[in-house]
Structure formats: C-alpha cells, structure tokens
C-alpha cells in the first residue's frame, strides 16, 4: 500500500466517524420529536410520553428511555422547588401541550383516550394547567 | 495374617459407624435448613385494590401554575427529551 492510499483510507475513516457522530447526535437530540412524528408515541397529561396502540418493541424502549430522563429532570425541579415529582411533571405537561404537539400528532388527557391533533387546531390543555 | 484381618475388621466397623452417625447428622442439618428457609419466606400477596391509573393524583393546581416558568426552562434546557 502506497503512502497516498494509506492517507486516503485514514481520511475516509475519519470522515465516516464524524458523519456517524453527527447523525447520532442529530437522532438523539430529536428523539422525542421523532417519536411524536412517527405517530406511534404521543404526549400524556402526566408529563411523560406514551405508546400509541401496539407499537413495536424498539419504539416502546425509546419511549421508556425518554421517560427515564424526563423523570430525572422532573425530580431535580421538584427538589429545587419543594414540590412533588408529579407536580413538576404535570406543570411541564402544560408547556408540552401548549407548544410541542404538531399537526396530526397524538396526545392523551386524563381520560386515557389517545387523540390526534386536527391540523393546527389548538390542543386542549389538561385541566390541572388552570 | 490374623493380625492383619483383625485390623481390617476393626477399620470396616469404624467406617460403618462413622457413616451411620454422619447420615443422622446430615439429615438433621437438612431438616434444620428446611425450617430456616420456611421461617424466612416472605409472603407476597396481591394488593387488595386494583392498581388504578389516575393522572390527577397528588397535583395541587396552584403549584402547577406557579411552576410554568420553570417548566419552560426545563424544556429549553433538555431539547432532546421534550
């Protein structure tokens, strides 16, 4: 193998790693948004994501991963403000329902029924939002 | 020769005695262990009431309203999971 070929291989490998890393970061950053867009997961009034219908195992595990991280964030906020984790989560749900659910995406109020946002019609806010 | 066979008889008898007494002790240990295990068992019974999913449990509305600013920041600082 000539010196040039070695350099080319190294460059290609480097490029692939950078591209892969960027793709991973992109996918990770938008995990919740992508799940909502897939129509297989939606937002719940309790501040967590839920699986819509009988989603495949990979969707279920992604939802679970997000919920674990959300719970950690809610726990931290709850401790800072001296409130319960449920309250921190429910408060965040108000913001999620107000601005994160896109057209045609799913949400679930305390009645337990999954509903789809109809176009750009406003999403009803959970009653606890005041 | 006689001496030799006598020695063997004594040795065999000793072995039988040891085997018998060990057998008894062994059974005793097993029995004791059984009692210990039964005594240490944790009885798990199903809860009397069914598990209900109630999204409104433990939520004070005024707290939720007060937390809106914090919730907004929480989402902004954790884009990937919201």
Those residues of chain B whose CB sits closer than 8 Å to some CB in chain A are 53-65, 67-68, 70-72, 74-75, 78-82
Structural domain for B8, as ranges: 2-81
* Structural domains counted in chain A: 1
pLDDT at A24: 54
Closest by CA position to A106, among listed A115, A97, A98:
A115
A41-44: strand order across its sheet: A49-51, A41-44, A106-108, A114-116
**Helix axes of B68-77 and A85-99: crossing angle, nearest 10 degrees:** 70
Structural domain for A51, as ranges: 3-129
What number is the average pLDDT over the span B54-71?
84
pLDDT at A64: 97
**CA–CA gap between residue A129 and residue A93 (Å, rounded):** 8
Strand partners, A108: A44, A114
Distance from CA of B48 to the nearest CA of A (A): 23
Nearest chain B residue to A65 by CA: give it: B81
pLDDT at B49: 56
pLDDT digits (tens, 9 = 90+) for B25-45: 545 444 444 444 455 677 766
* Structural domains counted in chain B: 1
* ipTM of model: 0.76
Mean residue pLDDT across chain A: 88
């Amino acid at each position: 193998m000539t010196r040039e070929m070695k350099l080319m291989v190294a460059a290609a490998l480097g490029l692939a790693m950078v591209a892969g890393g960027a793709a991973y970061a992109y996918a990770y950053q938008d995990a919740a948004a992508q799940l909502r867009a897939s129509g297989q997961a939606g937002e719940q009034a309790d501040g967590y994501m839920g699986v819509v219908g009988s989603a495949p195992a990979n969707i279920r595990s992604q939802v679970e991963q997000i919920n674990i991280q959300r719970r950690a964030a809610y726990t931290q906020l709850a401790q800072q403000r001296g409130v319960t984790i449920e309250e921190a989560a429910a408060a965040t749900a108000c913001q999620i329902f107000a601005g994160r659910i896109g057209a045609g995406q799913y949400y679930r109020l305390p009645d337990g029924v999954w509903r789809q946002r109809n176009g750009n019609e406003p999403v009803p806010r959970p009653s606890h939002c005041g | 020769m006689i001496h030799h066979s006598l020695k063997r008889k004594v040795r065999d008898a000793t072995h039988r005695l040891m085997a018998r007494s060990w057998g008894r002790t062994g059974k005793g240990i097993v029995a004791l262990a059984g009692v210990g295990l039964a005594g240490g068992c944790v009885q798990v019974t199903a809860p009397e009431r069914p598990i209900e999913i109630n999204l409104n449990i433990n939520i004070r509305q005024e707290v939720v309203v007060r937390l809106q600013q914090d919730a907004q920041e929480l989402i902004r600082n954790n884009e990937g999971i919201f």
